[in-house]
Structure 1
Amino acid sequence: MNQRRPPAPPPQLPGFTHLELLGSGGFADVYLYEQELPRRRVAVKVLLAERISASAAQFTAEANVMAMLSTHPAIVTIYQAGVSSDGRPYLVMEYCPRPNLQVRYRREPFSVAETLRVGIQVAAAVETAHRAGVLHRDIKPANILVTEYNRPALTDFGIASTSQSSTETAGMSIPWSPPEVFAHDARGALPQSGPRTDVYQLGATIYTLLAGRSPFELPGQRNGSAELIERIERMPLPAIDRADVPASLDSALARAMAKDPADRYPSAVAFARALQKVQIELAHSVTPIDILDDRPLDAAPEDDDGGLTRVRGVTSIAQIDTVTRASATTAKVPAAPPAPADDDATVARGPRVVQPIDDATILRAPARPASAPTAGPEAQARPRRWPAIVAASVIGVAAIGIGAAAIQGVVAPQPEPTETSDVIAQDPTGGDTVPLVAEGRGVIQGDEAVFTWTNPDPQGGDSYGWQRVDLDARESELEEIAEPTVTLPVDGEDRVCIDVSLVRADRRVSPQPTRICTPPS
């Protein structure tokens, strides 16, 4: 949006009260209105009167595309569309009050954590559009708004098209466009766009958030359209001059923005998974991938990942990695949609989370001898929960003790060597009691809840078992960490609580968990 021309007067819309101008562009003005029923603030995009004859069909197509896709949590919601009394078409949309990503990155570059989160969420929106047969074709920071819950929302599908009919590039923004859109074949025709065109633009957008400038904009040099096109077509992707950007993220961006479309990620979801791997490498919370798929349930995903992605309507796909099984100190995928330390992805209209069930949810001993047998398939398929684990362990140990006492006078065989237990349990036979964690504290920092505590008797190999206390009584997974701190998204709750227990290296645990809560808001 810009202010290069005076805005048109806002139309009179029944049931809406005009409040202020939000912005103006080449084809439309956007105003803030208050809707009377239901009462809420909305953004209304109004087509300019002089553009009606040339752009009305495109405007209608935008309304239909966004309405089809706007149930996705990272796409701006369309409430209604119509024609005002003075003949101008309009769209009534979700009002996103926070500055869009273009405004944000021009103030200062994004952190790596927030960039990865935003990139994965927008990639999921793009993948959802592609699976519905729609190419966006103008992905850039200015077209990613931010909701009041601080979640990105892709908008402006004004030049979107079906993947079968995309042969024009009018309206595409040069700084984030791939090289093929500037090429013509021998007949002078523009090349066909495809999903990999959107993948390039998404990569260029993520690059921009990190670098604080578009990918081929060179500080101190001419950055006009001709210079940018020349660099986009021939110049290697400049490195991002930031020490905190890992090589794996540089590589992911370089592949997404490869000159040859065939060298790019084949889909937006493949790019999103690459970003998830960077999150795991950096020990960040892993952002779910929300995908809408209208294909039959028995149809396999186009880019199969060995069952790690489950697509059923709108679902949250949590990344699974063997790293989470190998070490208790590695970040695990939480049961609720996570967020990095400086932001949150909580949205009231977000989808449910589908958590794959496997033995990654079971707390493991720090190490298992190479010769030790592993659990069978049936045992791995059953989820184990904290209360059941502790109760079963205590009852089992007691039963073994009674049985041994009963036969001690008859048979006294030599004891067999025992294996390291996978189960955390308090020793009921008089061993040293594991103390409770102390000095628990929970605070709300923005959209996140941060919990800390202390170990009153630190010993080698200590860790902590914790789980979120869900006030709605939904089941929460037990997780194990090495450091005495946890950061969680608030998820719209007035108060957030967790239960924490100290776990010794021999898998003994505090007799009961310590509950730590944030102060009520």
Structure 2
Amino acid sequence: MSSRPPSSPPRLPGYEYEQLLGSGGFADVFLYRQFRPQRRVAIKVLLSNVLDESVRQLFDAEANVMAQLSTHPSIVAIHQAEVSDDHRPYIVMEYCPRPNYGLRFRTERITVAEALRVGVQIAGAVETAHRAGILHRDIKPANILLNDYNRPALTDFGISVATAKGNDVEGSQGMSIPWSPPEFFADPPWADARSDVFSLAATVYSLLAGRTPFERAGQRNTASDLIHRIATDPLRPLDRPDIPAELNRVLAIAMAKDPSGRYDTALALGRGLQQVEQALALPVTPMDVLDDRADPTPHGAADDDLDNHTRIRRVSTVDPETGATTGPGGGTRIDPFAGVAPALGSLAAPGPRGGVGHRSSPVDGATDSTMLRPAGAVSAGSAAPAPPPPHRQEPAPRTRSTPAWPFVTLAGVLIVLLGVGTTLGARHLLLPEPTENPTTLVNAPELPQDVPDIPTAVGVEVVTEGGDGTETGRAKVVWEPPAGYSEEESFQARWKDVPGNYESRYGAIHEVHGRNSIVLEIPPQLEDLCAEVRTVNANGQASDWVPACLETG
């Protein structure tokens, strides 16, 4: 676990520093305001003490990859890459202010519609990267940000590699175990496009489950435990009542242990998710793919209603269900994933349009006698029209008699009343009172048995003093993890009892993952200032706050 404090933000021409956004193993991300054009941007800055040339090369490669792909609507845009005056490389990127899915999936119940939408849009981004020759290799909820328009955007290509170098996985830094495919832990490890397919499906699974795919409540979830389960344990179906069997099947195929059993491409996974949207009568999410490699593929007779939802720029619109339909010949293709996940109803036997549950018209092949036709029409099998009926003589008028319907109606009403009265009497006199069946909460969350222990040895010390009123000071809050601390737990830190007029800037709760310290701006002109820290486990339960005070003059 790293305990380093964040680095100081560099002075960059044309930018004004606002706040720290996050820290990683080799870089910090800061929020700056750009002067021209005026906008807020996220700037990723490599640490000054990182002397490893391979890390610097990865940092430069990330800038180049993001620049190549950032025109995609679901990939974070890059604006600039430079070196600061203190010789630290930095990347200026689009700022996505909303909480990323790494923070949301454990604390919110994400709907099936949102998870499918995110999966389809990110599948288009991943397919675009693959067609450009890039494997991401670190797809996970925390690397899917949300921009101002609530659109997901994939980021952090820091450990991406060229598809031709997919076998060069050993020694990679930064891969995220809970979403990694089994081949990452093979001997020797390797990767290809199907590895990103696995990680994307594991991410969609996490959004819906509120946990990582192979995490087990009430059991140990260390790195070695997760690696063993990823390699050997079957994927458990999602048991939410609003999740259809079709979606569980798509995820089971995409997360097959053997890569040969998975979807070959991210595009195929995106089409599978689009089919689930269609089966649920949800709006079908468009999937954008940038491809300069080939000429347009002409449309065939098998193109269906989903074809306009996959937009391949500079090529053509392609059919999202190509893998589930046949060519013009009209024959049904064998399901290539039947050995991975059993076919489900209409998904196993698609109709001639490749859709879900297409059936022929009930009049197909019907005999002539069952078909509706206009009055007076001649049957195809008839020799000639029937002659008109002979003229009938009008019957002689009859004597008017009293109608019988009032008596029949009255008798019917009396019978109904008698039946209802008999039923009610028998129910109250002969049958015992039914006992109320106990009810259970559908999809009630499994609460852990124990609240996490509190952090220990909490302390606060001044890092930098405040200036002449234009700059605030900074203080470092440190603590020690509690006994039995696991990698799945994290910490939260904040200033305690911040006045209301300081709340928006200094009262926020800061999430801390993988380290036991954080640097906070010191609220000015406050005496007896205290910070507080607590432990948070993987299920969202938190310990009590532990305070520590800082004497300020």
Q: Is 1:6 the equivalent of 2:5?
A: yes
Contact 2:124 2:266 in 1 (8 A): yes
Structure 1 gap segments, 5+ residues each: 322-358, 360-366, 373-413, 418-521
State the partner residue of 2:232.
234
State the partner residue of 2:490.
none
Q: Is 1:17 the equivalent of 2:16?
A: yes
Q: CA deviation at 1:313?
A: 3.0
Distance (Å, rounded) in 1 between the aligned partners of 2:151 and 2:221: 31
Instruction: Please state whether the residue corresponding to 1:107 is helix, strand or coil.
Output: coil
Distance (Å, rounded) in 2 between the aligned partners of 1:52 and 1:32: 25
Contact 2:112 2:243 in 1 (8 A): yes
Q: CA deviation at 1:317?
A: 6.3
Query: Which letter does structure 1 place at the counterpart of 2:239?
Result: D
- Structure 2 vs 1, CA of residues 368 and 97 (structure 1 numbering), >3 Å: closer, same or farther? same
Query: Residues 356-394 of structure 1: CA distance to partner in whole angstroms, max 9, x if unpaired?
Result: xxx9xxxxxxx895479xxxxxxxxxxxxxxxxxxxxxx
Query: Which letter does structure 2 place at the counterpart of 1:182?
Result: F
Q: CA deviation at 1:108?
A: 1.9
Distance (Å, rounded) in 2 between the aligned partners of 1:168 and 1:320: 32
State the partner residue of 2:284.
286
Contact 2:134 2:160 in 1 (8 A): yes
Contact 1:291 1:316 in 2 (8 A): no
Contact 1:288 1:319 in 2 (8 A): no
Distance (Å, rounded) in 2 between the aligned partners of 1:27 and 1:46: 9
- Structure 2 vs 1, CA of residues 244 and 3 (structure 1 numbering), >3 Å: closer, same or farther? farther
State the partner residue of 2:44.
45
State the partner residue of 1:465.
none
Instruction: Please state whether the residue corresponding to 1:17 is helix, strand or coil.
Output: strand
Instruction: Please state whether the residue corresponding to 2:183 is helix, strand or coil.
Output: helix
State the partner residue of 2:117.
117
Q: CA deviation at 1:131?
A: 0.5
- Structure 2 vs 1, CA of residues 88 and 251 (structure 1 numbering), >3 Å: closer, same or farther? same
Instruction: Name the % identity.
Output: 56
Contact 1:292 1:315 in 2 (8 A): no
Distance (Å, rounded) in 2 between the aligned partners of 1:3 and 1:32: 22
Query: Residues 421-474 of structure 1: CA distance to partner in whole angstroms, max 9, x if unpaired?
Result: xxxxxxxxxxxxxxxxxxxxxxxxxxxxxxxxxxxxxxxxxxxxxxxxxxxxxx
- Structure 2 vs 1, CA of residues 242 and 4 (structure 1 numbering), >3 Å: closer, same or farther? farther
Q: CA deviation at 1:241?
A: 2.4
The number of aligned residues is 327
Contact 2:291 2:313 in 1 (8 A): yes
Query: Which letter does structure 1 place at the counterpart of 2:232?
Result: R
Which structure 2 residues correspond to residues 18-167 of structure 1 after superposition, within 5 A? 18-54=17-53, 55-166=55-166, 167=168
Contact 1:112 1:244 in 2 (8 A): yes
Contact 1:73 1:153 in 2 (8 A): yes
Distance (Å, rounded) in 2 between the aligned partners of 1:37 and 1:316: 38
Distance (Å, rounded) in 1 between the aligned partners of 2:150 and 2:319: 20
Which structure 2 residues correspond to residues 181-330 of structure 1 after superposition, within 5 A? 181-184=184-187, 189-190=188-189, 192-298=190-296, 308=307, 311-313=312-314
Q: CA deviation at 1:319?
A: 5.2
Contact 2:275 2:321 in 1 (8 A): no
Q: CA deviation at 1:239?
A: 2.3
Instruction: Please state whether the residue corresponding to 2:49 is helix, strand or coil.
Output: helix
Instruction: Please state whether the residue corresponding to 1:90 is helix, strand or coil.
Output: strand
> Please, what TM-score do these two structures have when normalized by structure 1?
0.59
Contact 2:177 2:227 in 1 (8 A): yes
Contact 1:46 1:91 in 2 (8 A): yes
Contact 1:74 1:152 in 2 (8 A): yes
Report the aligned-residue RMSD.
2.9
State the partner residue of 2:461.
none
> Which has the greater radius of gyration?
2
Distance (Å, rounded) in 2 between the aligned partners of 1:305 and 1:20: 54
Instruction: Please state whether the residue corresponding to 1:150 is helix, strand or coil.
Output: coil
Q: CA deviation at 1:41?
A: 0.3
Query: Which letter does structure 2 place at the counterpart of 1:215?
Result: P
Q: CA deviation at 1:109?
A: 3.0
Which structure 2 residues correspond to residues 377-392 of structure 1 after superposition, within 5 A? none
Q: CA deviation at 1:219?
A: 0.7
- Structure 2 vs 1, CA of residues 234 and 13 (structure 1 numbering), >3 Å: closer, same or farther? same
Query: Which letter does structure 2 place at the counterpart of 1:294?
Result: D
Structure 2 gap segments, 5+ residues each: 323-352, 354-360, 367-374, 379-553
Instruction: Please state whether the residue corresponding to 1:284 is helix, strand or coil.
Output: coil
Distance (Å, rounded) in 2 between the aligned partners of 1:25 and 1:312: 35
- Structure 2 vs 1, CA of residues 316 and 105 (structure 1 numbering), >3 Å: closer, same or farther? farther
Q: Is 1:176 the equivalent of 2:186?
A: no
Query: Which letter does structure 2 place at the counterpart of 1:111?
Result: T
Larger mean CA deviation between 307-316 and 246-255 belongs to 307-316
Distance (Å, rounded) in 2 between the aligned partners of 1:168 and 1:24: 24
> Please, what TM-score do these two structures have when normalized by structure 2?
0.55
Query: Residues 180-207 of structure 1: CA distance to partner in whole angstroms, max 9, x if unpaired?
Result: 11010xxxx33x3100000000010000
